[in-house]
Structure 1
Amino acid sequence: MTALLMANRPLDPPVPAAAADLTLRRGAARVLLRNWTGASTVPSRTLYPHQWSWDSAFIAIGLRHLSPRRAQRELETLLGAQWDDGRVPHIVFNPAVPLGAYFPSPDFWRSSQAGAAAGAPAAIETSGIVQPPVHALAAWLVHEADPAESARRGFLARVYPRLTAWHRYLTSARDLGGAGLAAVVHPWEPGMDNSPCWDGPLARIAPADPSSFRRADLDHGHADDRPTDVDYGRYVRLAADYRDSGYADDGHAFAVEDPSVNALLIVSEYALARIARATGADPLVHEQSAQRLTDALVSRLWDAEAGQFLCRDLVSGRLVQERSVAGLVPLIVPGLPDDIVRSLLDTLDGPHFRADDTGLVASYALTGHAFDRTRYWRGPAWFNTAWLIARGLRLYRADDRAERLRAAFLDTARTSGFAEYVDPFTGDGRGTRDFGWTAALTLDLLTTPHPEAVR
């Protein structure tokens, strides 16, 4: 007891970095172990009690450092709910969770009935929309964690055709602009649900009647952190209309080309090329697809005046003049023109995104008219986007900047209790705590501080 009291004296020297990292590593591992359900990992035991698509990809990246086999299982469980048309749904519902624990629940999406024509599974209930395609990148990194175990289980051979079908869905059925990029048809699909980038396109959507649904998210999250009731009503309207169309990919009132989604698709195409090579398939088709997507990303979404990529509203045909972190994520894409890389680095270090007090990257421009330091994706800093940007900085040899961002990530994950997201100025945790991908990516950065770019 005396030793413990002495260790907490204010004038004691700081805990050595190695010991602090070990404590952080153990804390991150505890979160992942607590959130494991036996077949997959929930983002949060309270706010998000099912399996989420891109969450599981990020979680698998961290889980590979604890158990490569469990990381494989994470991705296999998700891909086991894939639809016949290739889409990977953004939620796979756990039938043991009460319907009222989360909304929209399985009885809202009605995937097995409404999605039957699109090939939704008959025995697994899912949502009908998708999330960003991080999965092939995650699969390759998981394989690399233990190639012998991966080969013994035939992991890559089993996930490769599913991942190929997933990418084919995005580059065909979701090429709504006809220029080669994948489009999102709901603000929940790009993962940055409440971004001000969606305000303009959403203004066309009449909200659903508030009496027609009950928001379960407010049972576990503060209203100031979450989307407004009006915005949530618009989300519900779009999802209901999509469901009632049988999840057909045409005639969407909301259709946007998002730079982050397409950047992740490009990087995952390069990962698929590696998977193809490892399984005896042809990598060239994926490499060529990645190059076509890169060309389209630059020609369609780069804005030199803004110094970053912007979203394109396919209904109006115009670029959305809002600065979000989605426009910086393309730093992860290999082979960008030098002038674009320089502009992205300048924008990243400029007044719009750099939060000097924490060293993190705001999700929406600090200078933007809609900036809100606490509300979901309208300003708070997120850990998954920091991980991606740090990876891009390494790719383009901005190692000092990457290390600063890595250190800020780890420090804030530690002080915030592995928060879902944080105030970009203070680092105070917002949303839920013990969040799955925050813990997983913390573990990854502690274990592999200098990741190799996948190309």
Structure 2
Amino acid sequence: MDTRTAHHGGDSPEPPRRAAARVLLRNWTGASTVPSRSLYPHQWSWDSAFVAIGLRHLSPRRAQRELEHLLGAQWGDGRIPHIVFNPAVPAGAYFPGPDFWRSSEAGRPAGAPRGTETSGIVQPPVHALAAWLVHRADPAESRRRGFLARAYPRLAAWHHYLTARRDLGRGGLAAAVHPWEPGLDNSPSWDEPLRRIDPAPLDSFRRADLDHSPAADRPTDLDYGRYVRLAGTYRAHAYDDSRTPHAFAVEDPCFNALLIASEHALARIAQEAGGDPAGHLERAHRTTRALVARLWDPDAGLFLCRDLHTDRLLADRTVSGLVPLIVPGLPAEVREALMHTARGPHFGLGRVHLVPSYDLLGPHFDGSRYWRGPSWFNMAWLIHRGLRAAGRYDEAKRLSAAFLTSALATDFAEYVEPHTGEGRGIRDFSWTAALALDLLNDDGED
């Protein structure tokens, strides 16, 4: 497809930049951007970071406001919750909603905000990277508004929460305590850890997601019952990581790679805000060493997840294991092995649509079911960034072109089937549009 024009619902072709901007304008609530108006009607944490990265090309000030609204819901212990709920949205529009999480009540000991309802779990820490890129889009406006000066202490507290309270394995990496936290919600990597979880009864909750997507594309009822059980247990222990008996606790490579990349960005932010970057750089280097020591599997040529209950690596190959390509200072032999794996039969970089979320040859591959095979646009954007960091500019350009072709051809779908390229999930998805804007405006700046 010619990426100079896009079709939307059979309408006349429109320029790609305008098409992507239309999605973001439609999903803007006045304070933040929802991932979609249907299935995801609130503000999601890492979605908004990706949205801000794209919005900076339309309005740096609105991109700043996107992040400021999210940071305004930060808890006293430093965590940035994975959902900030909009009180104007009907209670039953999304589950689990504010009545389930009860953050302002159950999360009060952890410093949950009193006037804003949020979830109690987190998502991958891409926020400092987003804040730095947003600042660079218009440094003068950013300085005039004091954007980084206000964001820096909140971002530093967020990273401190992850590196201190979430180092559950005592190995220098942040742990995820719910399958939704690493972002790859129902990845096959979670199947083994989830078998330990007694699911909540199906009659104890109602899934709103099935009102918008076919059941065959979504997590199973069994898995959802386990998600609910884990979240309910966390809530019952006041979202206190030191008290909660986390039945699910894993170290995920994508989560920690983004923490490292954002720590490097936070060093730049600290310097811009008049602080000392040295501590952030040291923590980035320390976490990089831990990432390689704890999650790198040379036989697989990939980073794998570690189950902290068994203290062993989980064998499933997922796109999460390729994302460390973005990490500055990754050992050369590790980077080369990752490139070999990305191009090989398990992920087929350059031969399938974008980058599949799960091993193409794996026993649980499903090209249509949420995170069990489909190619996601945010993962392709991260791999694109990793390819540039590795100096693979031609491959990066090909992946960027494929991203834009798929995004425009599918009306900015949530994800695509990697073999056919068919759009799946929700259309007019915000991070797809935002990251398309970023690639359309790519000037090579890191």
Class of the TM-score when normalised by the shorter of the 2 chains: over 0.9
Q: Please tell me whether residue 290 in structure 1 is matched to residue 287 in structure 2.
A: no
Q: TM-score, normalised by structure 1?
A: 0.95
Give secondary structure in 2 for the equivalent of 1:144: helix
Distance 1:359 1:440 in 2: 19
Give secondary structure in 2 for the equivalent of 1:361: coil
Q: Please tell me whether residue 144 in structure 1 is matched to residue 143 in structure 2.
A: no
* Matching residue of 1:178: 170
> Does structure 2 retain, via aligned residues, the 8 Å contact 1:355–1:424?
no
CA 1:19–1:198 in 2, change beyond 3 Å: closer, same or farther? closer
TM-superposed CA distance for 1:248, in Å, is 1.1
Q: Which amino acid aligns with 1:37?
A: T
**Which stretches of structure 1, 4 residues or longer, exceed 6 Å deviation after superposition?**
none
**Match runs of 1:201-220 below 5 Å:** 201-220=193-212
Q: Which amino acid aligns with 2:106?
A: A
> Does structure 2 retain, via aligned residues, the 8 Å contact 1:184–1:255?
yes
Q: Please tell me whether residue 384 in structure 1 is matched to residue 373 in structure 2.
A: no
- Length, aligned pairs only: 438
1:197 is aligned, of 186, 189, 201, to: 189
1:237 is aligned, of 229, 237, 251, to: 229
* Matching residue of 1:375: 369
1:269 is aligned, of 263, 273, 283, to: 263
Give CA deviations for 1:218-250 in whole Å, capped at 9, x if unaligned. 001111110000001000000000000110103
Structure 1 unaligned blocks of 5 or more: 1-13
**Match runs of 1:71-82 below 5 Å:** 71-82=63-74
Give secondary structure in 2 for the equivalent of 1:60: helix
Give CA deviations for 1:137-164 in whole Å, capped at 9, x if unaligned. 0000000000000000000000000000
Deviates more, 1:250-259 or 1:90-99: 250-259
TM-superposed CA distance for 1:451, in Å, is 3.8
**Match runs of 1:246-265 below 5 Å:** 246-250=238-242, 251-265=245-259
CA RMSD of aligned residues (A): 1.2
Q: Which amino acid aligns with 2:46?
A: W
Give secondary structure in 1 for the equivalent of 2:382: helix
CA 1:19–1:214 in 2, change beyond 3 Å: closer, same or farther? closer
2:441 is aligned, of 443, 447, 455, to: 447
* Matching residue of 1:107: 99
2:308 is aligned, of 307, 311, 314, to: 314
> Does structure 1 retain, via aligned residues, the 8 Å contact 2:4–2:16?
no
> Does structure 2 retain, via aligned residues, the 8 Å contact 1:355–1:425?
no
2:32 is aligned, of 32, 40, 51, to: 40
Distance 1:359 1:208 in 2: 37
* Matching residue of 2:56: 64
> Does structure 1 retain, via aligned residues, the 8 Å contact 2:353–2:416?
no
> Does structure 1 retain, via aligned residues, the 8 Å contact 2:194–2:248?
yes
> Does structure 1 retain, via aligned residues, the 8 Å contact 2:342–2:349?
no
> Does structure 1 retain, via aligned residues, the 8 Å contact 2:374–2:417?
yes
Between the two proteins, what is the percent identity of the paired residues?
70
* Matching residue of 2:357: 363
Q: Which amino acid aligns with 1:142?
A: V
> Does structure 2 retain, via aligned residues, the 8 Å contact 1:332–1:389?
yes
TM-superposed CA distance for 1:18, in Å, is 4.6
Give secondary structure in 1 for the equivalent of 2:312: coil
* Matching residue of 2:342: 348
**Match runs of 1:16-35 below 5 Å:** 18=4, 23-35=15-27
* Matching residue of 1:411: 405
* Matching residue of 1:436: 430
* Matching residue of 2:299: 305
> Does structure 2 retain, via aligned residues, the 8 Å contact 1:68–1:145?
yes
TM-superposed CA distance for 1:354, in Å, is 1.4
Distance 1:359 1:31 in 2: 22
* Matching residue of 1:9: none
CA 1:156–1:290 in 2, change beyond 3 Å: closer, same or farther? same
* Matching residue of 1:119: 111
CA 1:351–1:449 in 2, change beyond 3 Å: closer, same or farther? farther
TM-superposed CA distance for 1:346, in Å, is 0.3
Distance 1:31 1:213 in 2: 31
Q: Which amino acid aligns with 2:128?
A: A
* Matching residue of 1:6: none
Give CA deviations for 1:253-296 in whole Å, capped at 9, x if unaligned. 10000000000000000000000010110000000000000000
Distance 1:184 1:451 in 2: 31
TM-superposed CA distance for 1:358, in Å, is 4.0
**Match runs of 1:389-404 below 5 Å:** 389-404=383-398
> Does structure 2 retain, via aligned residues, the 8 Å contact 1:182–1:257?
yes
Q: Which amino acid aligns with 2:143?
A: A
> Does structure 2 retain, via aligned residues, the 8 Å contact 1:394–1:451?
no
> Does structure 2 retain, via aligned residues, the 8 Å contact 1:372–1:378?
yes
Distance 2:160 2:222 in 1: 34
CA 1:411–1:335 in 2, change beyond 3 Å: closer, same or farther? same
> Does structure 2 retain, via aligned residues, the 8 Å contact 1:391–1:451?
no
Deviates more, 1:100-109 or 1:21-30: 21-30
> Does structure 2 retain, via aligned residues, the 8 Å contact 1:301–1:312?
yes
TM-superposed CA distance for 1:449, in Å, is 5.1
Distance 1:354 1:446 in 2: 24
TM-superposed CA distance for 1:450, in Å, is 2.4
Distance 2:4 2:359 in 1: 35
Distance 2:14 2:307 in 1: 46
Give secondary structure in 2 for the equivalent of 1:265: helix
* Matching residue of 2:10: none
Give secondary structure in 2 for the equivalent of 1:271: helix
Q: Which amino acid aligns with 2:261?
A: V
